[in-house]
Structure 1
Amino acid sequence: MTRMTRRGATVELAISSALAALGVTRNEVEVKVIDQGKKGFLGFGAKEAEVTVTIKHVDEPSVPEKAVTPEVATIESKEEIVVESISPAMQKQTPVEEFSDELAVKETEQYLLQIAQGMGIEDIQVSHEIDGKYVNYQLESAKAALLIGKRGQTLNALQQLSQLITNKSSDQFKVVRVDVGDYRERREQSLEQLADRMADKAVRTGRKVQLEPMPSYERKVIHHTLSNRLDIETYSEGKDPFRYLVIESIR
């Protein structure tokens, strides 16, 4: 693939997502910004940025026709070269793409370092912990607020991109969590308190309460917190990234 269109919370995050998927660096591509996106107000009216990233073409020396032998027939396209007949000796020389948890974590940590440095965060430190199918990346910096962003939007974007990069090279599917300090824990406590307040409001007024758009794992925190209440029900509406949760009284 030589061209990819991606969206993200910001133009830079959209570009980084495309670079990770294409497996190239910034100086190897041309970037066209389709939509700058907008932040919205209080979580509403937000719009993702959209970019198209195209790999630059590199001219290669032509191969004389006599170098092509009948024994090896190839079909060439812009995206791949398919070899229909390859000798056993040639097969042994074919490079094999590596897949391992160690490689996946190393690439993801390097990516997080590059993104943070691109944001002007030079003191960034990245560590990780693997627990079965779960990989937890911990970020440390004096500029933690920049990594978190408003209501965790920047941190959520970093987590989504890290999920893609980790699973690109891991030998089995991994669930990725990216945290800065104890932000995730504090955010979950805040969501639990919000859930109780909004549920009480729905019961008291008899009207539906619509929360702001949240990523799926935050909506799950709300669902789980209110799962034992018999006086309300919760459900999600809309499409990501603007999917939101509704609390409704059932009295």
Structure 2
Amino acid sequence: MNQITQTAPTKEEAIAIALEKLGVPMQDVSITVVDEGKKGFLGFGVKPAVVQVTVLKREIVEEAPIKEEVKVEELQPVHEFEVSTPVEDEVPSKEQTNELAVEETIQYIEKIAKEMKIDDLVITEKRDGKFIHLHLNSEKAALLIGKRGQTLNALENLTQLVANKFSNSFIIIKLDVGNYRERRRESLEQLAERMADKAVRTGKKVEFEPMSSFERKIIHHALSFRVDIETYSVGTDPNRYLVIEPIK
């Protein structure tokens, strides 16, 4: 696959998803924003963003490209841009580029936190292969999480772009605040069982409110072993929701 058109609630999320599907870093693609989308108001007028991501052909050039200082502000999506591939001899090792990617990502998170008036943020790091887990701790944890984790999810999407801007290999950034992810998973699994029991008891399908694909997957997986119900998703993001229907 050399090109993909991706739809998501935001441009940043669409780019991050496309990069993950293609399995390539940011510097190996060109990106065209087909539609910037709209945030809407109170759930009305929401329009998803659409981006087209194309894998660039790798070519060895005779002269090394001029290195330019990259600022976080330059990571804002533009309508079309390309990042050239460095000469092979100048490409640092994966360990070195991943170190830089993590460092830049942490600095980006700290900058966002300061803008949110959070001055006690502590970030701890854990690595597991291509996964980089960053745990954020603060007395103002609620601000970093947001309603149903929306702020945390948005921040994770943005940091994914930052990380792969500086990394030579595709890495996946996972953010958590005060073990929120695990607590949310447990809460969704318990909710899934209750709603499944309700669907069987009443003989009627149960519909959830719109939620992210990550949270829908948690519920799908939690109920995958039950033979008395089936689960499926309906609609398009960001208003896609999950349905539990009893098997009669």
- TM-score class normalised by the smaller sequence: 0.5 to 0.7
Identity of aligned residues (%): 53
Q: Which runs of 5+ in 2 are unaligned?
A: 1-7, 17-25, 28-35, 50-60, 68-85
Which residue is equivalent to 2:240? Answer: 243
- Provide the C-alpha distance between the structure 2 equivalents of 1:119 and 1:112, rounded to a whole number of angstroms: 11
Q: Retained in 1: the 8 A contact 2:10–2:37?
A: no
Shift in CA distance, 148/49, structure 1 to aligned 2, threshold 3 Å = farther
Q: Deviations over 1:60-94 (max 9, x none)?
A: xxxxxxxxxxxxxxxxxxxxxxxxxx8x5xx1574
- Provide the C-alpha distance between the structure 1 equivalents of 2:165 and 2:193, rounded to a whole number of angstroms: 39
Match of residue 161, structure 1, among 158, 162, 166: 158
Secondary structure of 1:166's match?
helix
Which residue is equivalent to 1:200? Answer: 197
> Does 1:209 find its partner at 2:206?
yes
Q: Which has the larger radius of gyration?
A: 1
Q: Deviations over 1:105-157 (max 9, x none)?
A: 11111111111111111111222211001111111111001101111111111
Which residue is equivalent to 2:58? Answer: none
Letter in 1 for 2:139: A
Higher RCO (C-alpha under 8 Å, 6+ residues apart): 2
Q: Retained in 1: the 8 A contact 2:229–2:246?
A: yes
> Does 1:114 find its partner at 2:102?
no
Secondary structure of 2:125's match?
strand
- Provide the C-alpha distance between the structure 1 equivalents of 2:165 and 2:140, rounded to a whole number of angstroms: 29
> Does 1:180 find its partner at 2:177?
yes
TM-score, reference length from structure 2: 0.65
Q: Retained in 2: the 8 A contact 1:223–1:234?
A: yes
Match of residue 170, structure 1, among 148, 167, 172: 167
Secondary structure of 2:242's match?
strand
> Does 1:37 find its partner at 2:45?
no
Which residue is equivalent to 2:134? Answer: 137
Secondary structure of 2:230's match?
strand
Which residue is equivalent to 2:75? Answer: none
Q: Which runs of 5+ in 1 are unaligned?
A: 1-5, 24-32, 51-85
Letter in 1 for 2:235: G
- Provide the C-alpha distance between the structure 2 equivalents of 1:220 and 1:206, rounded to a whole number of angstroms: 23
